[in-house]
Chain A
Amino acid sequence: MTRHSPPPPTMGCSDAPVLKERGQHEVFCGLTGIIWLHRKMQDAFFLVVGSRTCAHLLQSAAGVMIFAEPRFGTAILEESDLAGLADAQDELEREVDRLLARRTDIRQLFLVGSCPSEVIKLDLSRAAERLSARHGPKVRVLNYSGSGIETTFTEGEDACLAAMVPALPATDQRQLMMVGALPDVAEDQALDLLGRIGIDNITVLPARHADARVGVGPNTSFALTQPFLGGTHSALERRGARHIPAPFPLGEEGTTAWLRAVARDFGIDQARVDAVIDAPRARARKAVAKAADSLAGKTVFFFPDSQMEIPLARFLTRECGMEAVEVGTPYIHKALVAPDLELLAEGPVISEGQDVEKQLDRCRTARPDLTVCGLGLANPLESEGMTTKWAIELVFTPVHFYEQAGDLAGLFSRPLHRRDRLKLEAAE
């Protein structure tokens, strides 16, 4: 432990009671995962089978990106599809044929289930099998559900990766699998650090291209870069791979702990690791310190969104000196976030699920200095005089590993800076 990170509290939040709530959830569904997944997998197409609402959601979430010949779309269910289930499979087949004829660069096609397709029990796995037989081996067709009734926001990525795992070829090679879709820049930095530490056999899930040879087997150890990958975690364990538990690589402390855990698993001694990470660690600390000035001593309140809330709260409290009031998260995978919970000092309410009106009441009572929430709540809270940081940006922006640690802190300090700068109140 360095002087920059306070020693771990004796218990942390490992055994803290969790406030479980249900009621109105102000969250995205798993379909939104497509927006960043399709950027990562460059030869994949995501075809949502759903309603106009699904198409409208993707359009609203994708913003301006929708126009750059995106590799996703919605097969919108119509009256006739609902009347009889028999021809839904044929309809889908026809649409996919047309799509693949137009987009010959597509190598992986994901049929993505939605609430309507799940409720009418449209069998997308059978459709995927049939289409795989029809368009294979050139195009592989997989399916997963991104419906709101089953998945919340980032869980869409989990469902997608978990669907890929059973189809991975088997391998006995001793290897590290890094799991989670990261922006290319962060992923490249991680691969470089791991390589210099001495781990030379590394695969990444999801890979950027379908033909990257990603195998899995009993000699595979995997490290998660994102906390929302519970389903993928189980699917990999079912293939015999072993999970390396670690805090998530956010901030200097998280990145260091993550790298050390991986190195330990591969029997690499700490001196070698330290020689590689000393310089980037120092850089990260310096960068975080700049932003941390304005964050220290401030309180933060998290509304549930991406499951990244617990590791983020750990980073903000330990490296930036903030105080967490409530850490809300849509779902807690105890096995995955345990190392982060251990590091998080006792105190904050840890809540799972949501009843948005009650949570808003708690937030208004607490009057936190900074509220992390979705775009549906951000402006309304700002108009009540609170400072907010909209959470979705944390999923799109490179925030992982050393070089992004300063940027990560900056995302939280910027709204506070802005509030200080604006002098818009009318003169008395």
Chain B
Amino acid sequence: MKLSVWTYEGPPHVGALRVATAMTGLHYVLHAPQGDTYADLLFTMIERRDHRPPVTYTTFQARDLGSDTANLFKTACEAAFDRFQPQAMIVGASCTAELIQDDPGGMAQTMGMPIPVIPLELPSYQRKENFGADETLFQLVRRLAEPMQRTDRITANLIGPTALGFRHRDDITEVTALLEEMGIAVNVCAPYGASPKDLTRLGAAHFNVLMYPETGEAACRWMERELKQPFTKTVPIGVGATRDFVAEVAKITGLDARLDETRLRLPWYSASVDSTYLTGKRVFIFGDGTHVAAAARIARDEMGFEVVGLGCYNREMARKIRALANEFGVPALISDDHLDVEAAIAEAAPELILGTQMERHIGKRLGIPCAVISAPVHVQDFPARYSPQMGLEGANVIFDTWVHPLVMGLEEHLLTMFREDFEFHDDAGPSHQGGAHARREATDTPAQDAPDEAGNVIWMDAAERELKKIPFFVRGKAKRNTEAFANERGLDEISVDTLYEAKAHYAR
């Protein structure tokens, strides 16, 4: 058993639901107890879908346990088929149904449905949501796709976007446009917007664009093997990655690498003088493996930040993220325990967190600005406006999103120059974040964040005053370093000199 309050991922059947909801003409019959229908509201509320997810839950109750649940499942399958007339069905069990061993797959096979019925084996006690989505798409593709004549024109399939995906809706538009510029049409985008019939046409494309490895890699690998379709390895998030993606596609297809950069603004914005203050800003990056890897590259190469920590919650991407962390010379954090993440962030004391909804709250607690780069996300990250992460417009969106929580350059300059001033003091916060802007009290109240005496080191008054002159975003780090420095040397007190000796010691 493991005590958990917050989970980055839901159970695997929620992943299957994400695939089913993304598609049309497909119905999911889920053997599950009353109550599991809660998952519907993820789609109707967070993603604001205007229809119910195409799922029938058997909703068995205690009195059904025994022989009746199997019957319940069959009835639910028949009723779902009669009512929705889907082109194909997927059937499976949720965590509780897994325990009662009714074998939905086997039962559905014996019912003789006139449509393909695809059983899903999703081990609820070992795997999680992303696995569920990846596996479901894989099973659908394996069952429905066949080798066939390639289209005359060069076409690609877009693989991986699902319901409840972070910016999947707009990424599809952006990638479609990228391909269009090179003269490539999209054959099928799956699962988002595809029907089972569309999946039977997958084989007609010349290659696959793997948009999200978390939810599409198994399907892409199968198609590479069985349909001889190569798939792209670069995820086009960021300017550099988009250029690499175009080059990769050019290599696969033999077409010219064409990329119209007239709408791209990130490079100039990042080069303009107001961005100078971004240089070396310390960022901590956490989320799903794909978005973290992309964000790390943008942070270092396109924004000029210093990456001080990175990690992911999906262990499927652990190897990739470990290698990346190695390259960046920072420790990799592979964990789905938000307390671990909070501890790592507190330790790294970054000036900006790029993370999920959870890190947004960790940031709030620690007083560190945060931008959201990955699922799980909340309703505000399914925006009405066009806001992709991929491609050139994605890069523009990312620049704005990441810079916004930081104090603007001029504003930060003022804060530093006039930090004794009643308006521009350290606790004022960025003025564009109205609520956080607090005026300084007229009279000097006793220091509330007085250094504690952990480690038996006492801060002398003068040193404490000096510490407060250090900008707030590095103060925590300075304080810890100085205390560690004093401890190492067996000092009981920290004077102004100790403070600056420590500063010199840790300077690079």
* Chain A residues at the B interface, C-beta cutoff of 8 Å: 23-32, 47, 49, 51-53, 55-57, 59-61, 64, 66-67, 70, 72-79, 81-82, 88, 91-92, 94-95, 98-99, 115-116, 118-120, 147-150, 152, 357, 374-380, 382-383
Contacts and interface: CB of A to CB of B under 8 A. Distances in A.
Contact of A115 (B13, B33, B45, B79): B33
A95 B1 contact: yes
Interface residues of B, number: 54
A119 B33 CA distance: 11
A50 B89 CA distance: 28
B48 interface: yes
B124 A53 contact: yes
Contacts of B48: 379
B59 A56 contact: no
B65 A78 contact: no
Contacts of B6: 55, 59, 66-67
Interface string B27-56: 000000111111111101100111110001
A47 B4 CA distance: 10
B3 interface: yes
Contact of A51 (B57, B83, B96): B96
A27 B34 contact: yes
A61 B1 contact: no
Given A53-B11, A56-B10, A376 B40 contact: yes
Contacts of A99: 3
A366 to B, nearest CB: 19
A413 B491 CA distance: 68
B5 A73 contact: yes
A75 B1 CA distance: 6
A376 B1 CA distance: 31
A168 B417 CA distance: 64
Contact of B37 (A25, A55, A79, A380): A25
A379 B1 contact: no
A24 B59 contact: yes
Which residue, A24, A118, A357, has most C-beta atoms of chain B within 10 A?
A24
A150 B83 CA distance: 28
Contacts of B60: 149
A29 B364 CA distance: 31
B126 A79 contact: yes
A82 B1 CA distance: 10
A56 B11 contact: yes
Contacts of A61: 38
Nearest to A67: B361
A27 B5 CA distance: 22
B113 to A, nearest CB: 18
Contacts of B428: none
B218 interface: no
| Pairs of residues from A and B, 8 with the lowest C-beta to C-beta distance, nearest first | A29-B35, A148-B35, A376-B40, A383-B50, A115-B96, A51-B95, A375-B41, A56-B10
A78 B62 contact: no
Nearest to B75: A23
Contact of A52 (B11, B58, B64): B11
Interface in B84-119: 94-96, 99-100
Interface in B123-139: 124-126, 128
Contact of B45 (A27, A32, A375): A375
Contacts of B365: 67
A380 B48 CA distance: 9
Given A25-B34, A28-B38, A55 B7 contact: yes
B61 A150 contact: yes
A66 B48 CA distance: 21
A372 B96 CA distance: 29
Contacts of B361: 67
A29 B2 contact: no
Contacts of A81: 1
B52 A380 contact: yes
B4 A76 contact: yes
Given A95-B1, A383-B51, A27 B37 contact: yes
B223 interface: no
Given A73-B5, A376-B44, A51 B125 contact: yes
A53 B41 contact: no
B470 interface: no
A381 to B, nearest CB: 9
Contacts of A98: 3
A59 B45 contact: no
B372 interface: no
Q: What's the dominant secondary structure at chain B's contact region?
A: mixed
Contacts of B10: 52-53, 56
20 contacts: A23-B79, A24-B58, A24-B76, A25-B34, A53-B14, A59-B5, A60-B38, A61-B38, A67-B361, A77-B125, A82-B125, A88-B1, A92-B1, A115-B35, A119-B99, A147-B62, A150-B62, A375-B44, A379-B48, A383-B51
A331 to B, nearest CB: 11
Given A53-B124, A56-B11, A99-B3, A24 B35 contact: no
B96 A116 contact: yes
B5 A70 contact: yes
A60 B129 CA distance: 14
A24 B125 contact: no
Contacts of B95: 51-53, 115-116
Nearest to B42: A60
A60 B33 CA distance: 17
Given A52-B128, A57-B35, A119-B99, A149 B65 contact: yes
Nearest to A152: B34
A72 B6 CA distance: 10
A390 B59 CA distance: 21
Which residue, B34, B50, B56, B365, has most C-beta atoms of chain A within 10 A?
B34
Contacts of A378: 44
Contacts of B11: 51-53, 56
A67 B126 CA distance: 26
A148 to B, nearest CB: 3
Contacts of A79: 125-126
Nearest to B58: A24
A66 B5 contact: yes
A32 B35 CA distance: 10
Contacts of B9: 52
Interface string B67-84: 000000000100100010
A147 B33 contact: yes
B4 A74 contact: yes
A148 B34 contact: yes
Which residue, A32, A55, A75, A94, has most C-beta atoms of chain B within 10 A?
A55
Contacts of A119: 65, 96, 99-100
A149 B3 CA distance: 23
A325 to B, nearest CB: 21
A148 B36 contact: yes
Contact of A25 (B5, B59, B128): B59
A53 B99 contact: no
Nearest to B10: A56
A119 B98 CA distance: 10
B78 to A, nearest CB: 12
Nearest to B379: A63
Contact of A24 (B1, B3, B57, B128): B57
Contacts of B96: 51, 53, 115-116, 119, 148-149
Contacts of A25: 34, 37, 57, 59
B50 A379 contact: yes
Interface in B329-363: 361
B459 to A, nearest CB: 29
A52 B128 CA distance: 8
Given A53-B10, A379-B48, A28 B35 contact: yes
A357 B49 CA distance: 18
Which residue, B38, B51, B99, has most C-beta atoms of chain A within 10 A?
B38
A57 B100 CA distance: 21
Given A24-B58, A51-B95, A383-B51, 15 more contacts: A24-B56, A24-B59, A29-B34, A51-B11, A51-B124, A53-B13, A56-B11, A59-B7, A75-B1, A76-B1, A94-B1, A95-B3, A148-B61, A149-B96, A376-B38
